Amino acid sequence: MESVGRILSRPAAWLGDALDLLLGPLQRLVGTRRMGYFFILPNMLVFGIFILLPMLLNFAYGFTSGSSILLHNREYTGLRNFELLLECDLSFLNPGSGNFFNPNVCQYDRFWRAVNNTTVFVVFQVGIMVLFALVTALALNRKISGRGFFRSVYFYPVLLSPVVVALIWKWILQPQGVLNGLLTGWGVEPQPFLTAPDWARLWVIFVSVWAQMGFHTLILLAGLQAIPAEMYEAAAIDGGGLWQRFRRITLPLLMPTLMVVLVLSLIRAVQVFDQVFVLTSGGPGTATLYMVQFIFQTAFDQQNYGLAAAASLLLAAALLILTLFQLRLGRTSEIA
């Protein structure tokens, strides 16, 4: 690493000198204090054009209809897009329509299917992943040799492209794949892992836990190692058992880290897209259709930008609520 720094240092110095030559006059012109504006300018430009402006434009799309992506060709339709999204197609088939907590309601409606699927995915994926990551981090935090090796192996899938992850598992789970091979060896019927709705939902959760767990393990492990050893020594003198130590020392002191992990993984889970897109493409049927894929396909396959923008505004609202929830939780955990 140091040698890389040394090789880069000379061109970096030249570049610095060259820019200094250009920026000297600017500083004399605007004064030292206003150079602050200059320093934030490039970032604010990129930020303003590619993040802030789109955020505002999203409303313009959400409240207009038409197949053109150009705003002046679109027609203002008010809340129509939101109505279209929220109402149930074929609701006459569903006796209990109107009650969105009933999983049988709106089952023919792609949007509500996606909302439902995403909710179930988020709850199980985050729950299972944080639990696994915590257990792994606790195991790695014991006095063991080869910790670096284990840490790296668990982290490795995090670096793999979601497409690669999906293909690895598609190969394992296919009808003639190794998992079915093992099952046959044990005398169990081969299973339609990716073509039966319930199996597909389960494997989508498993694969994304597999791919992301290492990252959260790493953060939790760092949090565990920050707990001073004296705390445990004191507990050992008091004669607390393993579970007592975990409940009274580890868990409370790890709470801030656990909160970070929980929120990061929640926000990521809500946006689940790429692995699933390659692994099942949302299928079978709409069994693994999630919000982002719904938005993506509505916008770029069906050219229904208005409906897609309305859906992404709802997604943004969900993320906002999660964030506020986290801030609140963060406050209460500080008080506790």
How crowded is residue 314: how many other Cβ atoms within 10 Å of its Cβ? 18
- Taking the least distance from each CB to other proteins, the nearer of 20 and 98 is 20
**Residue 123 or 226: which CB sits closer to other proteins?**
226
Q: Per CB under 8 A, which of residues 35..64 are in contact with other proteins?
A: 35-40, 42-44, 46-47, 49-58, 60-61
Q: Does 193 bind other proteins (CB under 8 A)?
A: no
Q: One-letter amino acid identity for 283?
A: G
Which residues fall within 8 angstroms of residue 198, CB to CB, at 6 or more apart? Answer: 287
Q: Does 171 bind other proteins (CB under 8 A)?
A: yes
Instruction: Give the Cα separation of 257 and 181 in Å (integer).
Output: 41
Query: By CB under 8 A, is residue 228 in contact with other proteins?
Result: no
Are the C-beta atoms of residues 299 and 308 closer than 8 Å to each other? Answer: yes
CB of 183 to other proteins, least distance (A): 9
Residue 91 C-beta: closest distance to other proteins, Å: 27
Shortest distance, CB of residue 136 to other proteins, whole angstroms? 6
Residue 185 lies near other proteins (rule: CB under 8 A): yes
C-beta atoms surrounding 132 within 10 Å: 16
Contact 221, 137 (CB under 8 A): yes
Residue 105 or 312 with smaller CB distance to other proteins: 312
Q: Where are the alpha helices (DSSP H) in the chain?
A: 2-30, 35-47, 53-62, 80-86, 110-140, 147-159, 162-173, 178-185, 197-225, 229-238, 242-245, 251-270, 274-279, 291-300, 305-335
- In residues, how long is the chain? 336
210 binds other proteins (CB under 8 A): yes
Nearer to other proteins, 97 or 174 (CB): 174
User: Closest distance between other proteins and the C-beta of residue 123, in Å?
Assistant: 19
SS3 state at 49 = helix
Residues 90-119 that bind other proteins (CB under 8 A): none
Binding mask 132-161 for other proteins (x = CB under 8 A): ---xx--xx-xxxxx-xxxxxxxxxxxxxx
Q: How far is the CB of 191 from other proteins (least distance, A)?
A: 14
Considering only 177, 197, 240, 330, the residue that binds other proteins (CB under 8 A) is 177
DSSP string, 139-182: HHTSS-TTHHHHHHHHHHHHHS-HHHHHHHHHHHHSTTSHHHHH
Task: Rule CB under 8 A: choose which of 7, 79, 131, 182 binds other proteins.
Answer: 182
> What SS3 state is found at 92?
helix
Query: Does residue number 251 form part of the binding site for other proteins (CB under 8 A)?
Result: no
Q: According to the binding rule CB under 8 A, does residue 131 interact with other proteins? A: no
Taking the complex as a whole, the smallest distance from the CB of residue 93 to other proteins amounts, in Å, to: 31
Binding residue count for other proteins, defined by CB under 8 A: 112
